[in-house]
Structure 1
Amino acid sequence: MYELFASAFVTLFVVIDPPGCAPIFAGLVADAEPARQRALAIRASIAAFLILLLFALFGERLLAALHIELYAFRIAGGIMLFVIALEMVFERRTQRREQRAEKVRATPDIDDVAIFPVAMPMLAGPGAIASIMLLMARADGMAASLAVLGALAAVMAVTLATLMAAAPLMRVFGSQVESVATRLLGVLLAALAAQFVIDGLKGAFGI
């Protein structure tokens, strides 16, 4: 179970990418009081956790209702995660997040960024949703499922801590360290995505 927990934790951590979200969140809440910043971080993390938990518990039933084979979803999810990995390596994902954040900042009527764009799609985006569904599909038995859900809770706890410390961390480390970390995580995600595709192909062709 420890190996499954570790694998799920690494996968979700890489996909959600708290180090990459931290500077964008810091920019979104730069004008808010520290107490307001902490409240927004808590709301965003809880909302993202609930969204991902919903797909973790009922995602497989959704696939069944749509008559989608699990193997097909693994292949499609792996390809999608691989694309995300490429965007992380070449920093296109960070640029897109920053552009979305700029649009929100430019809209004076929007003062609560906890749900959009932080909780979704920054934290609980398509990649994270696909990842948690794939991990739950691979979990065999109640203990394995709890290990995956425990990894999700742990990643969201780390994400919450990262968002709450976003502003101080940016002052200490700067954008260069965040850029290097994002690229390294992208390489790791590419390998994990390839494994998802391999597992899907093996299952589909009975290898």
Structure 2
Amino acid sequence: MAFATFFATVGVADIAFIFAGLTRSYTPRQRFVAATRGVLIATGILLFFSFVGNVILDVFGITLPALRVAGGILLLLIAIDMVFARHTGGTGTTTEEEAEGMTREDISVFPLAMPLLAGAGSISAVVLFTTGARTDLEFWMVVAALVVTMLVAWLTLLVAIPIQRLLGLTGMSVVSRVVGILLTALAVQFVFDGVRDSGLLG
């Protein structure tokens, strides 16, 4: 479940097109360096939130049920965007951010690492899963799922242009919509669990 959520919120199915567009003037070597640096930075950001998530909740007085409901709502909005092929700032870059990124020589930090890979959705998902882990084993399984997701994202970036040519716009849209449907159900489940654990229903 964690891997599927990270896969969707990181936007692995979408980053090929964006990265290919941002690096169309790059050499293969420059594309490799940008992809590697961006993924490493994004992984560091997400791992940071995975280890300090509980501290952040304690500082702001946020309960786990409240986080589950909030995270579920955010994931639901992202899933709806994926199903209807709309692009906002939840899983990737907005139009303004992408336009700014096109003018930069190094896109590895912005917009690749943030907000394309480590965006609001993926950070929320990381905090949600790590703080909800009941045992050390569950926690490390979540961390492992995160690392695997970022590895898949890195591999996807490396073959971005071939994937774009192979699947085309229609193929990528189908993948995105299927993942979006699954994420919708998962987001609703998060909200149900949060309301149930909050005690609001008695």
TM over 0.5: yes
Partner AA of 1:205 in structure 2:
G
Does 2:99 correspond to 1:102? yes
Question: Alignment partner of 2:78: what SS?
Answer: helix
Partner AA of 1:121 in structure 2:
P
Shift of 1:74: 0.8
1:130-160 per-residue CA deviation (whole Å, 9 max, x = no partner) reads: 1011111221121111100000010000000
Moved more, 90-99 or 132-141: 90-99
Q: What's the counterpart of residue 197 of structure 1?
A: 191
Q: How does 1:79-94 map to 2 (within 5 A)?
A: 79-93=73-87
Q: How does 1:49-60 map to 2 (within 5 A)?
A: 49-60=43-54
Q: What's the counterpart of residue 179 of structure 2?
A: 185
Question: Alignment partner of 2:13: what SS?
Answer: helix
- CA separation of 1:98 and 1:152: change in aligned 2, threshold 3 A: same
What is the distance in 2 between the residues matched to 1:196 and 1:157?
A: 26
Confirm or deny: 8 A CA contact 1:88 1:94 kept in the other structure.
Answer: no
Confirm or deny: 8 A CA contact 1:44 1:115 kept in the other structure.
Answer: yes
Does 2:28 correspond to 1:34? yes
What is the distance in 2 between the residues matched to 1:101 and 1:146?
A: 34
Q: What's the counterpart of residue 161 of structure 2?
A: 167
Does 2:112 correspond to 1:118? yes
Shift of 1:124: 0.6
1:16-50 per-residue CA deviation (whole Å, 9 max, x = no partner) reads: 12120111001001101001001100011111111
Confirm or deny: 8 A CA contact 2:76 2:184 kept in the other structure.
Answer: yes
Q: TM-score, normalised by structure 1?
A: 0.91
What is the distance in 2 between the residues matched to 1:40 and 1:57?
A: 26
2:141 aligned to which of 133, 139, 147: 147
Unaligned residue ranges in structure 1 (runs of 5+): 1-6
Higher helix share: 1
Confirm or deny: 8 A CA contact 1:41 1:114 kept in the other structure.
Answer: yes
1:78 aligned to which of 72, 77, 86: 72
Partner AA of 2:192 in structure 1:
I
The percentage of counterpart residues that share the same residue type is 38
Confirm or deny: 8 A CA contact 2:6 2:125 kept in the other structure.
Answer: yes
**Structure 1 outlier segments of 4+, above 6 Å:** none
Unaligned residue ranges in structure 2 (runs of 5+): none
Q: What's the counterpart of residue 64 of structure 1?
A: 58
Shift of 1:177: 0.5
What is the distance in 1 between the residues matched to 2:100 and 2:142?
A: 35
Does 2:31 correspond to 1:46? no
Q: What's the counterpart of residue 123 of structure 2?
A: 129
Partner AA of 2:194 in structure 1:
G
Question: Alignment partner of 2:186: what SS?
Answer: helix
What is the distance in 1 between the residues matched to 2:115 and 2:67?
A: 20
Partner AA of 1:116 in structure 2:
F
Shift of 1:94: 6.7
Give the count of matched residue pairs: 198
